[in-house]
Chain A
Amino acid sequence: MSQSAEKVLDHFKLFREPEYEEMFAKKKAEFEYPVPNEALQHTIEWTKTEDYREKNFAREALTVNPAKACQPLGAVFAANGFEGTLPFVHGSQGCVAYYRSHFSRHFKEPTSCVSSSMTEDAAVFGGLNNMIDGLANSYSLYKPKMIAVSTTCMAEVIGDDLNAFIKTSKEKGSVPAEYDVPFAHTPAFVGSHITGYDNALHGVLKHFWDGKAGTVPPLVRKENDSINFIGGFDGYVVGNNREIKRIFKEFGINHTMLCDPSDAWDTPTDGEFRMYDGGTTLEDAANAIHAKATIAMQTISTEKTVKFIEEHGQEVIKLHHPVGVGATDEFIMELSRITGKAIPDSITLERGRLVDAIADSSAHIHGKKFALYGDPDTMLGLTAFLLELGAEPVTVLSTNGDKAWAEKVQALFDASPFGTNCKVYPKKDLWHMRSLLFTDPVDFLIGNTYGKYLDRDTKTPLIRIGFPIFDRHHKHRYPVWGYQGAMNVLVTILDKIFDEMDADTNGIGTTDYSFDIIR
């Protein structure tokens, strides 16, 4: 045996040892009854054809490799952005374990979240008892300042009424009567994680602004000079929110980050465990009603919340994940307009530096073809930026983007000479993307970690921008918003272009006449 206590081989190496190679070969030959290799190759080749693509796009029921997650994941994200808040998901505990691992794998931080652990009897008799016990236990075990309740499908299918359940729980003494328990119904069979974010944030604001489920009088808006900022479901929230706060500071704008998990998902290692850290204070969340205006950075990700805020008399600046010069200009100028504050010189300088960087590297991105997929707002931001860079976003795909989103993307295409040959695909999955990468090949793919299989299958180099990113560390620390953020996106794209250039020219004695140190 090649495995020994002196030198333990891990999975990278162990299964390459001869006895395993032999075992795999034997298993394949004697037990797997594989199709003949020619037939296999034939099928593989067939999946790359127009014919296969047609059949692939004719799929009506089956989703293969979805580029979206479920509502409660978004709800947990939103809850995690408030001070001392415990996300409480009413439903089955397995779902909650998924959210926690999903976020921990992306942010490399623990994510606090509990469930009411509904089981079969709860499904039959209703989950009220689970709510009563669950709220009582989490309140005494984890001592949160607020418990934000959302739901899994299980609770939604049987129709549990959160409002009534929470009221009953309070009556039964699970938590004090005046304790804040905002809630949102977040069934996964509707929408996606961005819908869940929207519902949960809406639930929190409704709780504080509209009289805490009828227990206190609703707040009356008295306009002040503050600005609310809503980032939406954002995998770069750690870097982005800090960058946005810096920009507000440069302007000297009073602001409230509505939902700010940037500290909760970036706690220091200093010997102290922080179950909760940072976040929007409950007081600020309530006072946000008085703000002069709200900036929604990802409007599609916060449709319901935006409408709710508008109904309370505030102007809402509706953006779509602005990345790049033009989109950031709009963001910055809107900030200036609504606050009446001049754009600080420091920001103007940052803008100039970004334009300079784009010009310096212009030749390398110019004319390159990209396929990209992800959340609808992210796609709008990246598409606009790629067009600005002279690239062609040939394929733009979103599983949770709808027809209205597709029209917005098409408008971006139509406004640029580089958009002529580009196409948008709403409500499509990564298996559709696979076909597209074969039939309409591009130079680079932009997407989350799951794109690595497409990279491998189609030999389209993956540039990791999106959520989740599991297989590269700490990307979430670097902003993609603001001029500095656009710079980071630019560098991320360029790095891959140059890596590919090097990989393409590094054949010793064959292609290395172009393996240059200056690019």
Chain B
Amino acid sequence: MSRSRCHVPPKPLPLSFSRGSLPSDGSSVLVILFETNPLLWSGLGGRLDGKESFDETLRQLLVYMIGFLSLHEQNRVVIIALHSNVEHCMYAIPTLASGENDLTNTGSKSDLCAQVISNLATLAMRMRSDFDLSTKSNMPLTTVISMALCCVNRARVYKPHCSPRILCILGSQDSSGQYFSGMNAIFSAKNSGVRIDACLLGYTDSFFLQQAAQITGGSYCMLQQGEKALYYLLSDLPGSESIRAKLQSPRKFCSEYQATCFCHEVNLQVGFVCSVCLTIFCERCRKCLACFADYT
């Protein structure tokens, strides 16, 4: 039942949203997490075989973004550069803060590209000073996903009816230390109705992102040829929600919910869980090794 609300005083905007059950007006907010790790793109990490060129992939990503912005006048994009030290390399195109930033005409779109490129140039300059080959190939993915979710939440304060999406384009490996907080972030995304799409560069699957895509109802694909990034992006990750509902995206999930025990770090299928601190053990013991609860 819809009701005219002209007489109702404007409701103060809620500061956070519980579920993604708000009716969408067709617009969306897209947060792109793009890996800029030099170790990955130079091929030194052994993940990419050098065929993918950073420039070409970035160029195609920008085309995708412009395509996305053209779909709806209220669409907004945020790009976060995913780097081994995230501290100085976040690039939010400030379309969210002002709320009413107009990106519909072509002039602003080229501005957008110019801004992304100039920001990347700044990042490259900074990196030159502290780049060394010992840079790890792991990425603080949890941090960046948490930040992306905060961006989405901020966007919803201004535009409560947009449907939000996070697109991860990266090629680095999962790091096991981030598992719990990462899962926590994924479930928060699910509860806020945020879809996480993952685009893997290279040939190795990311178990973490597979779960992220599966739990939040997003897509997961691999960009094996950087030259065709745009093709993959457009066909596997269509921008509009209404199109996505009609297309069957090529999902490839092999979700193995592997649990590892605390005591021997063995993968197991049946384990014993401490009722106090939820630590997993592979055999019965008298005392919890994590929280020292006494079972006797």
> A and B, one complex?
no
The interface of chain B, by Cβ under 8 A from chain A, is: none
